[in-house]
Structure 1
Amino acid sequence: MSEEGWLVSGQGQGYEGYDRLAIDRSGQAEAFDAIGDRYDEAFPHKEGQLAAGRWLADALPPGSRVLDLGCGTGLPTAAQLADAGHRVVGVDLSAGMLKLARDNVPTGEFHQADIASLGEERWGRFDGIAAFFALLMLPRAEIPHALRMLHGLLRPEGLLALSMVEADVDDYAIPFLGNTIRVSGYLRDELRQVVRDAGFEVAGEDSYAYAPASTDVPPEIQLFLHCRRRA
């Protein structure tokens, strides 16, 4: 199967051999629209994300084209990559978050899109991808397909900086800053295997115990993987 065969865009379509219509995104974007810049207030210290973003920014050739998947407000990752001289394309499902991202990173290019619309025929190839806490918004059944999509969007030997929260949950509803979102996660050994099965080499890994500033969000273990696309 070609890499493009893993993903097609449009209403009523989906991954080859996979029922895209079974996926429910209802309420996810609306929750983040409502949260707005309170997200950065609730998560003021992002040492793990900054370190992983620095690895990606430093490891890529100057002026690389980089996708920030689930870019949110653009802080810190899109800004970090842009400040390093890379050409940043940010994608998010939330229009409210994208408005903040455009204000925070005026040199970036930002688009409202679902992960399942990111076919290479529209977006082209990237030298690197940052996917920080974006895939945890998907049900587990969709995550391997999303990773294969990211594999297809990367040039050969391209880099992926990926983060997830370590948790054995699937499309689980949690309270989040006065709203409800649904999240998925893996324990770290299973996450490594899912990433490798999608065609990536795991070149490095870090984990951080994180306590958000808001008591409305529980403490968590954040996993960061430094990955390289295998041919």
Structure 2
Amino acid sequence: MTATETAEAPAPTPLSAEQLFDAVGPAYETAFENLDTQHKSIRWLLDQLPSSGAKIVDIGCGTGKPVCYLLAEKGHDVLGIDISGAMIDAARERVTKAKFEKLDIRDFNPPSESFDAVTAYFSLIAGVSQDEIRATLKRVFGFLKPGGFLVWSTVPLDADNLNLSWMGRPTVVSSLGPEDALAAVKDAGFEIVEEMRSQYLPKGAVEAGICGEGDIWEEPHLFVYAKKPTA
């Protein structure tokens, strides 16, 4: 190497989904606590369910708030699963009326038609491929009872195993563009009841100390409310 040459810094090693959310930790709750579209979707789901006793699983539950907490407070039987041990530890401390399990959705194999509702908020993105997203939606259809509900939210971009920095941390993500995401829900067998598109800037991530100002950007969001047909 000559005096005028400089060595390029090696690209940072991407974090797995588990490492990513262990690193972000419970402060993730603060970063997204003002996500009005999420609260609206929870209210919608509660309106569809009986007053209590429904069996629900939240995929990628994080700290358990707000989803598991609000559903369990209404008397529903709620299970939260997450690949991050840090998130599960926080959830068990913060939400005492729900059950939590450290588990990758790809290893979750409940009995067929055993849940009344499934929620998955931004959890089918890190560490999965587009094919795995589609396959997971089909599996979710299988363990929902006829007439059961799915609430799914994602960042609707056409990306398959894309290396990027999220909240200042390198990782690998996949997602489906808006029309492909809706098509995947329909292809899984669901009837789409409503879709909602919005933009969100997670300013709380900086306030929570997760990352710096330059590490956040305005995200497109897609929320899908869907139902498994009864026949």
Same fold (TM over 0.5): yes
Aligned to 1:91: 81
- Secondary structure at the aligned position of 2:159 is classed as coil
Aligned to 1:21: none
Aligned to 1:54: 43
Residue 209 (1) aligns with residue 199 (2): yes
Higher Rg: 2
How far apart are the structure 2 equivalents of 1:174 and 1:41?
Answer: 22
How far apart are the structure 2 equivalents of 1:32 and 1:102?
Answer: 16
Amino acid of the residue matched to residue 30 of structure 2?
E
CA contact (8 A) 1:48 1:207 kept: no
Residue 175 (1) aligns with residue 165 (2): yes
Aligned to 2:5: none
- Secondary structure at the aligned position of 1:226 is classed as strand
How far apart are the structure 2 equivalents of 1:226 and 1:39?
Answer: 24
Query: C-alpha deviations, 1:109-131, integer Å up to 9, x for none?
Result: 0001111111124x971100111
Query: C-alpha deviations, 1:121-163, integer Å up to 9, x for none?
Result: 4x97110011111112221011111011101110111000010
Aligned to 1:225: 224
CA contact (8 A) 2:64 2:94 kept: yes
What pairs with 1:1-231 in structure 2 (closer than 5 Å)? 27-61=16-50, 62-121=52-111, 125-137=114-126, 138-213=128-203, 214=206, 215=213, 216-230=215-229, 231=231
TM-aligned CA deviation for residue 212 of structure 1: 0.8
Query: C-alpha deviations, 1:17-46, integer Å up to 9, x for none?
Result: xxxxxxxx9621011111112212322311
- Secondary structure at the aligned position of 2:130 is classed as coil
How far apart are the structure 1 equivalents of 2:135 and 2:25?
Answer: 29
Deviates more, 1:86-95 or 1:211-220: 211-220
How far apart are the structure 1 equivalents of 2:168 and 2:183?
Answer: 34
How far apart are the structure 1 equivalents of 2:216 and 2:15?
Answer: 21
CA contact (8 A) 1:166 1:220 kept: no
**Structure 1 length-normalised TM:** 0.84
TM-aligned CA deviation for residue 222 of structure 1: 0.7
- Secondary structure at the aligned position of 2:125 is classed as helix
Computed over aligned residues only, the root mean square deviation of the Cα atoms, in angstroms, reads: 1.7
How far apart are the structure 1 equivalents of 2:125 and 2:197?
Answer: 16
How far apart are the structure 1 equivalents of 2:125 and 2:166?
Answer: 14
Unaligned runs of 5+ in 2: 1-13, 207-212
Query: C-alpha deviations, 1:77-103, integer Å up to 9, x for none?
Result: 111111222111000000000011111
- Secondary structure at the aligned position of 2:92 is classed as helix
How far apart are the structure 2 equivalents of 1:124 and 1:160?
Answer: 13
How far apart are the structure 2 equivalents of 1:223 and 1:77?
Answer: 17
The count of corresponding residues between Structure 1 and Structure 2 is 206
How far apart are the structure 1 equivalents of 2:89 and 2:113?
Answer: 23
Unaligned runs of 5+ in 1: 1-24
**Structure 2 length-normalised TM:** 0.84
Percent of aligned pairs sharing the same letter: 34
